[in-house]
Homo-oligomer: A and B are copies of this chain.
Amino acid sequence: MDVSSYMAELGQTARVAAGKMAAVSSAQKNQALLATAEILESRRDQLAEANQKDLAEGKAKGLEAAMLDRLELTPGRIDTMIEGLKQVAALDDPIGVINDLKYMPSGIQVGKMRVPLGVIGIIYESRPNVTVEAASLCIKSGNATILRGGSEAIHSNQAVAACIAEGLAQAGLPAGAVQVVKTTDRAAVGQLITMPEYVDVIVPRGGKGLIERISRDAKVTVIKHLDGICHVYIDADADREKAIKIALNAKTQRYGTCNTMETLLVHAAVAQEVLPELEALYAEKGVELRACQRSSEILERCVAATEDDWSTEYLAPILSVKVVDDLEQAMAHINAYGSHHTDSIVTENYTTGRRFLTGVDSSSVMINASTRFADGFEYGLGAEIGISTDKIHARGPVGLEGLTSEKYVVLGDGHIRQ
């Protein structure tokens, strides 16, 4: 197969489908989502069979255990896909909403109508359930999508794609609304991200290396975050109990997520008071501490942090700890070493909290809350296609609205410009 012409064909089909999807009713979109849910339910055996093929090939190729785990479509994960489709169907349709319609001095009314972006390319690895998640958000937001999953999940993804295709057909939506790339040739990715005539936005989900490559080479906007180096800063005026609770939760509730704290900053005035208790709690959970010079004088069991530690996303039971002299030092550290993802301050001081909110340049900035809240569901978006640490188009957790744009609508009564 000629990858280049195959991808261009997918692109053309998607572009045509996008034109139709933009005008489709909420009822039809929801029907497609619910029909797909039913079809998945009725095809559990086929899905498991396709998944077994991927798992067997993966084992034969010597894929590591973590990857095989992500690849597996357990009955529970199929339940989650089905539940996810129902949840997205239940969300309000963002398309067509008109906001801020106001009369202008000239007499015209001007407002903004929410519209789909067009065609969204999604590139992801191993987890076949992403196929359904991503497709459902694109359908609901009236976009067409081209999905490019990992080659290791090709059979699972094609089995899922068949269910979606049937769901679309049942609702009378164009088959081109959701296309899953059939080739495992890596050139397909390079092509997908350099077809601005057919693809409007790329959403990559996967490791930092993949996302960096895509960002560098893409000819369209990429909605992405590279890593989550999140901080909790325990201020001199922190409530001790809140500080302990939040610092523990932000690190240990889950280790492998992008909103997990990787560096704990503590004001010098309270380091002596909070670090020993935290050390004991972290020790219970098996968290290794990598400490700056000053915190190492307080902590009993720790290793010395290197310069690299401050900019490392461990995704593991490891935490770097640094004592700072004041708020300014804490903010300077966060803005310099962080990844502009999510950072939280623990303080009871009004002015300090207010300054932190303004001064920290991250997609989520928090006061007295765990960084683990940075999530589309926790923020009430109802869904999440990813988290953006860029400032263009979408920032922070990206839900349906991040997959849309707005156009101006002007209502007149024969108005002309003077």
Chain A residues in the interface with B (C-beta under 8 A): 19, 22-23, 96, 102, 104, 106, 108, 110, 113, 115, 117-118, 200-201, 221, 239, 241-242, 245-246, 248-250, 253, 335, 344, 346, 357-359, 361-370, 372-374, 378-380, 391-393, 395-397, 405-417
Contact A405 B380 (CB under 8 A): no
**Could you say which residues of chain B place their CB within 8 Å of the CB of A102?**
380
**Could you say which residues of chain B place their CB within 8 Å of the CB of A406?**
395-396
Closest 9 CB pairs of A and B: A369-B412, A242-B414, A249-B416, A391-B405, A372-B417, A366-B410, A364-B408, A396-B408, A368-B412
How many copies of this chain does one complex carry? 2
Q: In the docked arrangement, what's the CA distance between A415 and B344, Å? A: 11
Contact B368 A104 (CB under 8 A): no
**Could you say which residues of chain B place their CB within 8 Å of the CB of A374?**
408, 410
When A369-B412, A407-B363 are in contact, do A379 and B110 touch as well, CB less than 8 Å? yes
**Could you say which residues of chain B place their CB within 8 Å of the CB of A239?**
414
**Could you say which residues of chain B place their CB within 8 Å of the CB of A221?**
221, 392-393
Q: Out of B117, B361, B367, B415, name the residue touching A373 (CB < 8 Å).
A: B415
Q: In the docked arrangement, what's the CA distance between A127 and B284, Å? A: 67
Contact B412 A366 (CB under 8 A): yes
Contact A372 B416 (CB under 8 A): yes
Contact B96 A413 (CB under 8 A): no
Q: In the docked arrangement, what's the CA distance between A246 and B108, Å? A: 13
| Nearest-CB residue, chain B, relative to A244 | B414
Rounded to whole Å, the gap between the CB of A98 and the closest CB of chain B is: 9
Rounded to whole Å, the gap between the CB of A100 and the closest CB of chain B is: 9
**Could you say which residues of chain B place their CB within 8 Å of the CB of A19?**
335, 361
